[in-house]
Homo-oligomer: A and B are copies of this chain.
């Protein structure tokens, strides 16, 4: 049985609305907190059995239509030899930020030195996953990776990264090209080992003016995904002003955050399946306000050629997993054609 999510990614409307949640594997689940206890983030992404277990947890619990490979956007950097750790409560921290031509010259080769744990984890998941559940790989887009590499840690405005793109275009090109190659290699390992489709996260693209995105970022996102053998979902937050440029890359669907009505998105990119965009805040607003909103999202999704239901952003760590499980059942029971 072909997974409904893949039918939607092909631009057709499956019988039931497919639904999954960004960050469905993670801190909102007690079984995740249990198996992760005492294990650093990046290490948990490089132990195949553990990675597979964490990936499967939300599939077992919520009956979602996709597993998303449990990993971190920093994993390919670590596998390429970059000194990076995820500091709890902070985020990715790099020993050596890349801010100058000399820094960029010291980058290691753009390759994954030991991708075996990734491939092994993907195979373990593929074996366990029900045939009707899609399996999504993922990677961070070059700009988002580069923003971390330039700043050396999470930042609100990515000022240093955004300055570098204009002050030293050659170093910027070298860094973004490096990120594109590493990110592509990370996706390719997952594809070779058996994922059905991939999602490219450009979490920080929304911080960019349109022209900067178009000239200094989009070409590298394009390199990351050009010619991949599986469908690609592309997602960023606060990107309403960039949607047409993101769609012009070789992508098969666009993820939309909660700020943009799916009808608006469909008017900008009429030919693409859309994914999203339940406001995560509604998970905390009680069932009535949540389900009213979900019906509106599903009705708006009719404006696109196909619709994959998701949140407009990742599952908040303090979300109640029971609310998510019930939400999946609610969506599966909806007849989208009645929600106009």
Among A82-90, A120-128, A222-230, A254-262, which stretch is in contact with chain B? A254-262
Interface residues as binary, A65-109 with B (CB distance below 8 Å gives 1, 0 otherwise): 000000000000000000000000000000000000000000000
Q: Is A13 positioned at the interface, with any CB of B under 8 Å from its CB?
A: no
Among A56-64, A206-214, A244-252, A330-338, which stretch is in contact with chain B? A206-214
Name A's interface SS. helix
Chain B residue at smallest Cβ distance from A210 = B261
Whole-angstrom distance from the CB of A291 to the nearest CB of chain B? 11
Chain B residue at smallest Cβ distance from A169 = B289
Q: Given A159-B316, A241-B259 in contact, is the A284-B167 Cβ separation under 8 Å? A: yes
* Stoichiometry, copies per complex: 2
Q: Is A162 positioned at the interface, with any CB of B under 8 Å from its CB?
A: yes
Enumerate chain B residues within 8 angstroms of A163, measured Cβ to Cβ: 281-285
Q: Given A166-B282, A167-B285, A289-B166 in contact, is the A206-B159 Cβ separation under 8 Å? A: no
Interface residues as binary, A295-320 with B (CB distance below 8 Å gives 1, 0 otherwise): 00000000000000000010010000
Q: Is A43 positioned at the interface, with any CB of B under 8 Å from its CB?
A: no
Enumerate chain B residues within 8 angstroms of A209, measured Cβ to Cβ: 258-261, 279
Residue from A206, A258, A313 with most neighbouring chain B CB atoms (10 Å) = A258
Q: Name the one of B159, B264, B313 contacting A281, with C-beta atoms under 8 angstroms.
A: B159
Q: Is A157 positioned at the interface, with any CB of B under 8 Å from its CB?
A: yes
Q: How large is the interface on A (under 10, 10 to 19, 20 to 34, 35 or more residues)?
A: 35 or more
Q: Is A194 positioned at the interface, with any CB of B under 8 Å from its CB?
A: no
Interface residues as binary, A171-211 with B (CB distance below 8 Å gives 1, 0 otherwise): 00000000000000000000000000000000000111111
CB-CB contacts below 8 Å: A133-159 with B: 157-159
Point out residues on A near B: beta carbons under 8 Å: 157-164, 166-167, 206-212, 238, 240-241, 258-261, 264, 279-286, 289, 293, 313, 316
